[in-house]
Chains A and B, each alone.
Chain A
Amino acid sequence: MFQFLMRRSLAALATIWVISIVSFVIIQLPPGDFLTTYMANLREMGERVPEEQIAAMRERYGLGEPMFVQYYKWMRGIIQDGDFGRSMEWGVPVSMLLWDRIGLTVMVGLSSILFVWVVAIPVGVYSATHQYSILDYLFTFIGFLGLAIPNFLLALVLMWIGWSVFGQNVGGLYSPEYSNAPWSIGKFIDLLSHLWIPMLIVGTSWTAGLIRTMRANMLDEINQPYVETARAKGLTEWRLVWKYPVRVALNPFISTVGYALPQIVGGVLITAVVLNLPTIGPLLLRALLSQDMFMAGAIVMILSILTVIGTLISDILLAVFDPRIRLE
């Protein structure tokens, strides 16, 4: 088990390292270095920047030096001070803008995963144990539909319904009176009352996919001899299904969640843009459209790292649940 943990953690670290390189490449993609653009922006707004400050920033980010020196300085800044560079558009360090929004992004993502699990597992089990029943066909159809509707379209339709039927804007994560208020119980409850809409939207498409996975896994297991043994033992149908095939079918399911995580992050991102949530999504879109590359690079990097960590956790969970993997 310890070996397994070490191996997986090392692999995750290696992935994170590659991610940092990719993110750095993204920052470097647009022509010209960011400082020149930054200065031009400031000058346009009629601000003057002292020469020493420019020189200090030039030194800090290693501009004009070879690529690997720039990369090294950028990485050192992140690891030592949590400094992801400066946002050109906002004129402040990227890290100042990010942390709050990352928390909410993780929250929307996690609640979506929770929603997906709570719905997909029982529905998948039902579909498999009642194969070719009317409800099974219905779930399968809804599943296909969920896979076919893009997140943002679902978000648009829900917003449209909310707007035209209930006359209110279902976007955002807080009611107006709480949006700038400090954290309190009231604000938290308000957050929860808004959270279910993005949760539903992001969840739906993945629930659909995972119901199909769970159903297929269950169908693989449900006719296995060990289920027959359990039935021959005199267990009730309910107990034997949940104790044996569900338990085994959950294992590939957990690993699918690892694979689904990158897509869930994407779903949260695009849904957040439509619903105008104060998460990382709209920030990334804005940064990309205005070529605010330090910001964009930092967001891509943080999202990727979060995903890798999430996948690592699901791998570890899988090992805890499945004795076969633990012993590999």
Chain B
Amino acid sequence: MANVEQRGQKANSELSPILDADILEPEKEKIAVATPRQLMWWKFRKHRVAVFSGILLIIFYTIALFADFISPYDPNAFDAKHKFVPPMYVSFINEDGNFTLRPGVHGLILHKNPETLRITYEKDKSVWYPVHFFVRERPYKLLGFIETDIHLFGLGEEAGSDKIFVLGSDRLGRDMLSRIFYGARISLSIGLVSVFLSLTLGIVLGGISGYYGGWTDNIIQRVIEFIRSVPGLPLWMALSAALPSDWSQIRRYFGITIILSMIGWTELGRQVRGRFLALRTEDFVLSARLSGARDLRIILRHMVPSFTSHIIASLTLSVPGIILTETGLSFLGLGLRQPVVSWGVLLQEAQNIRTVALAPWLLLPGLAVVLTVLAFNFLGDGLRDAADPFSR
């Protein structure tokens, strides 16, 4: 909208007043035919932080999708020789001290303190491993169906048993970078899947509640009020703990997802209900009803489209809560469990303060959580502002 105004002003200053009026007319028509979606996009685009957050999330989800391609190692591969390796400094200065376009890392010398048995690493200046791109190792199926063994980067065969740990390794010598990439798959998808379930529950129950009113509304509202008035965490903890321990990974994943979606739906349900109540008395709904449309058709064709943008914004804003709760539950050992890798499961490794003091990079999955949640919050805020294109 600002664009159009600016163009209008420009035309104003350049042309004589009389011509100006004629020129302005088509511009005005352009404003009039802009669809709500266009208005929303224009307004959203002005919200820089939200746009940036959206791009960041697209990058995160791309990483999750191609985790097996860009991870240098198997996230669960043990390596007894590389426990607690600190993050390596990837350098563009090679062993001769010259600048090179091909980055590389130095080798490591292991020291073991004979008394405390504590292991420390020292940079081996004499050994230089350049990073190789598109290396062929470990076969996998890209996107689940393309069989390949190409990985984005690695040290190649010349490095032997030495490895590159961009973000360090954990107590079993597993590569943190690969684990965070794989963890993104679970942590990011569980948010979306739960939100989708919450949305279904919220729209169905909130819609019934708001569209029919009366005693149905009353019962659903009491249920929502109940869920909102008791502390969720202990309840979710108890429910997660009650999931049978012999369930398969995938069943457990969906079990947790369902438990998590019980958090989100009440807020969405309340909002959907509020919208329905407001819309129920609108003329266009009344006329649809008078012309004999069935309830379902009125709801899906006439009412839902008029508040989709608000729903999208609310959905975005409810993802962070779910991601945070999954992380918390898994951190406590009640959510997902090894060998499944999620950011919460990774943080479980950092439960002991002595371990954290020894290897603070174990907290890095937490940074991934914080960034994701921040991005979702900013994006949701921008969408919410944009969803109301006529507000200031």
Contacts and interface: CB of A to CB of B under 8 A. Distances in A.
Please say whether the chains A and B touch (CB closer than 8 A). yes
Interface of A: 15, 18-19, 22, 26, 29-30, 144-145, 147-153, 156-157, 159-160, 163-164, 169, 171, 259, 261-263, 265-266, 269-270, 273-274, 284-285, 288-289, 291, 296-297, 299-300, 303-304, 307-308, 311
Contacts of A300: 234-235, 238
B241 A311 contact: no
A273 B332 contact: yes
A288 B334 contact: yes
9 contacts: A148-B371, A156-B347, A159-B353, A263-B231, A266-B234, A269-B237, A270-B328, A284-B234, A289-B333
Nearest to A308: B229
Given A29-B242, A262-B231, A274-B351, A156 B237 contact: no
B324 A150 contact: yes
Contact of A145 (B235, B331, B356, B374): B374
Contact of B230 (A149, A152, A169, A307): A307
Q: Is chain B's binding surface mostly helix, strand, loop or mixed?
A: helix
Contacts of A303: 231, 234
A226 B360 CA distance: 54
A263 B374 contact: no
Contacts of B225: 15
B238 A296 contact: yes
Contacts of B353: 156, 159-160, 163, 169, 171
Nearest to B227: A262
Contact of B226 (A15, A157, A164): A15
A300 B353 CA distance: 28
Most interface-central of B233, B242, B331, B332 (chain A CB within 10 A)? B233
A46 to B, nearest CB: 26
Given A15-B226, A156-B353, A148 B373 contact: yes
Interface range for B: 35 or more
Contacts of A147: 320, 373, 377
B378 A152 contact: no
A43 B369 CA distance: 45
Nearest to A290: B241
Contacts, number: 130
B332 A262 contact: no
Given A30-B242, A273-B332, A304 B373 contact: no
A285 to B, nearest CB: 6
- Give 9 closest A-B pairs by Cβ, nearest first: A266-B233, A288-B241, A29-B242, A148-B373, A265-B231, A262-B231, A304-B230, A153-B366, A148-B374
B29 to A, nearest CB: 34
Nearest to A304: B230
B327 interface: yes
B370 A148 contact: yes
Contact of A266 (B232, B347, B357): B232
B247 to A, nearest CB: 13
B299 interface: no
Nearest to A281: B234
Contacts of A148: 320, 369-371, 373-374, 377
A280 to B, nearest CB: 9
A35 B12 CA distance: 87
B228 interface: yes
Contacts of A263: 231-233
Contacts of A304: 230-231, 234-235
B350 interface: yes
A2 to B, nearest CB: 22
B369 A160 contact: no
Contacts of A265: 231, 233-234
